[in-house]
Amino acid sequence: MSKLVIILGDQLNTKLSALEEFKKDEDEILMMEVWDESSYVKHHKKKLVFILSAMRHFAKSLTREGFKVSYIKLNSQESLKSFTETLVGFIETRHSQNEAFHKIISTEASEYRVLEMQKSWTELLEKFNIIFELREDNRFLCTKEEFSDWAKGKKNLLMENFYREMRKKNNILMADNKKPLGGKWNYDHDNRESLSNKKTLNKIPERFIPEADEITREVIELVTEKFSNYFGDIEHFYFAVTKEGARKALEIFLQEYLPNFGKYQDAMLENEAFLYHSVISQYINIGLLDPLEICKLAESEYLKGSAPINAVEGFIRQILGWREFVRGIYWLYMPDYVSSNALEAHRQLPEFYWDPNKTEMNCLKQVIKQTKENAYSHHIQRLMITGNFALIAGINPQEVHEWYLSVYADAYEWVELPNTLGMALYADAGKLATKPYAASGSYINKMSNFCKNCKYNVKEKISSDACPFNYLYWDFIHRNASTLKNNPRLAFAYKNLENFDADKLTAIKESSEKFFSRLK
């Protein structure tokens, strides 16, 4: 009797724990495309094409390597609503053909929702006399247990401290004397240059775009037919869908973009969605790239002298530090985390998040337009434009969460939720970030060229053509004083607020009210 290994859509890697001890001559793999996974949020069409095409390519490469694979396609009879129903249907068919599995193995799902489902399979499969084994996810550098051990007894969980531990544990950018290479742990201060007035623009290299093959074209047809009402443009699909393609994209990034990654990490430009970012999160999150290998390759660019320390350290910190840290936070606080709303924000998500033509605020229009086109926007755009607006306008965190989970090709709840609820909205009362990332128009004007083409005036604070970020920022600070004023990182803002006279405060409130009354 053989074993069946289930591989989920974001587990596309042959080093997956569920595949350990796999016997090619006896065992079998099952991969399932199911309706529930396509519809738990209305995923961006490019995200759907990416994941379904990558799953199909992975199954094909497994077959080529001699694995026996059963693959259930979304538009086939066997594909049912959920993983559970589809799995049961599959086992029943095999039983009716006198083919039985004695054991089913799976790697823990990356998201709470699916992990709970997997946990129910032990009892379910007993009825079929099948043992179910659920293995730990080995695609992360810090286990859930290690993270909760690290967090134990700490009043505040600081990413920077966690990151240093990860550097030491994985021996990345470390000198022999256990000190950081280059002398400093963190070069963030060197990473805040703007690009808004630069000739350097001409030098941003062209992006690598692999050609869509027959499998991808078939998935594009499927998504066009079945998910036409979902958000996002399907045209100009540009993601790699194989391990080799993702690796090529990474190598091009390391050679052509990494040297400038640090310096311009926070910069934003109209019509330049990617700048010097790596655009690889979607590949790492589904298993096509390995996080430790990426960090080592980036480190070697520094050791070879091809990229400066601020760029390499900054890039590695995102993967070894932030990525692992947000996952740790997710598992430490789920399931309650998803419903947090510390700032009691209840306003509904404005329509323009789904249709950029419905706003005249150019920064929001441009970032949402890029999101619609690419299923991508870079970190500062997510945090300081769409996130910042949702924060200061008091948009309901659960609605914002659903938006971020839908619109980006790299979005899975374990990584999206802490970034949205914790980092962008401070809805978790500071479990992830030490302060809310609230900012007025002057930050956006400093870091981008969006304000040059905006109907609003970024220099104006309150008048009818004033940039809404300016008065909404102070309205936010004032509105949330009881919760935030003792935060030492906001001391400067609250000190300023104290000096506002009553008329100024009234004008801020009135402009904000007026803005909100027009917001749909």
Binding positions for ligand DLZ, rule: CB under 6 A = 8-10, 32-34, 37-38, 43, 48, 51, 109-111, 114, 412
Site residues for ligand FAD, window 372-401 (CB under 6 A)?
A: 378-379, 382-383, 387
Which of 107, 216, 285, 470: binder of ligand FAD (CB under 6 A)? 285
Q: Quick check: 400 and 420 in contact, CB under 8 A?
A: yes
Cα gap 477→483, rounded to integer Å: 10
Residue ranges that bind ligand SF4, judged by CB under 6 A = 361-363, 441, 444-445, 450-451, 454, 456, 458, 467-469
| Class of residue 324 by CB neighbours under 10 A (exposed 0-12, middle 13-18, buried 19+) | buried
Nearest CB to ligand FAD, comparing residues 72 and 291 = 291
- Which uninterrupted H or E stretch holds 90? helix 83-96
Residue 311 interacts with, from ligand FAD, ligand DLZ, ligand SF4, none (CB under 5-8 Å by kind): none
Residue 33 interacts with, from ligand DLZ, ligand SF4, ligand FAD, none (CB under 5-8 Å by kind): ligand DLZ
**DSSP-derived secondary structure for 367-421:** HHHHHHHHS---HHHIIIIIIHHHHHTTB-HHHHHHHHHHH-TT--HHHHHIIII
Sheet holding 101-107, edge to edge: 69-72, 28-32, 2-6, 101-107, 131-135
Cα gap 144→131, rounded to integer Å: 24
Nearest CB to ligand FAD, comparing residues 361 and 390 = 390
Min. distance of Cβ 118 from ligand DLZ in angstroms? 9
Min. distance of Cβ 420 from ligand DLZ in angstroms? 16
385: its two tokens: 């434009």
Min. distance of Cβ 9 from ligand DLZ in angstroms? 2
Nearest CB to ligand SF4, comparing residues 361 and 493 = 361
Which residue is associated with the tokens 């009362």? 429
Min. distance of Cβ 346 from ligand FAD in angstroms? 19
502: its two tokens: 């009553």
Nearest CB to ligand DLZ, comparing residues 222 and 467 = 222
**DSSP-derived secondary structure for 95-108:** HHTT--EEEEEEEP
- SS3 state at 69: strand
Min. distance of Cβ 482 from ligand FAD in angstroms? 25
Min. distance of Cβ 455 from ligand FAD in angstroms? 26
Min. distance of Cβ 3 from ligand DLZ in angstroms? 19
89: its two tokens: 């249907």
Question: Is residue 86 involved in binding ligand FAD (CB under 6 A)?
Answer: no
Site residues for ligand FAD, window 296-325 (CB under 6 A)?
A: 315, 318-319, 322-323
Residue 450 interacts with, from ligand SF4, ligand DLZ, ligand FAD, none (CB under 5-8 Å by kind): ligand SF4
| Class of residue 182 by CB neighbours under 10 A (exposed 0-12, middle 13-18, buried 19+) | middle
Residue 9 interacts with, from ligand DLZ, ligand FAD, ligand SF4, none (CB under 5-8 Å by kind): ligand DLZ
Which of 241, 280, 334, 490: binder of ligand FAD (CB under 6 A)? 280
Q: Which one, of 205, 206, 216, 293, lies nearest residue 247 by Cα? A: 293
Min. distance of Cβ 226 from ligand SF4 in angstroms? 36
Cα gap 213→218, rounded to integer Å: 9
Residue 280 interacts with, from ligand SF4, ligand FAD, ligand DLZ, none (CB under 5-8 Å by kind): ligand FAD
Nearest CB to ligand DLZ, comparing residues 187 and 414 = 414
Q: Which residues contact 484 (CB under 8 A, 6 or more apart)?
A: 436, 477, 490, 494
Cα gap 193→464, rounded to integer Å: 31
Contacts to ligand FAD by CB under 6 A: 277-281, 284-285, 315, 318-319, 322-323, 326, 378-379, 382-383, 387, 404, 408, 410-411, 415-416, 419-420, 423-424
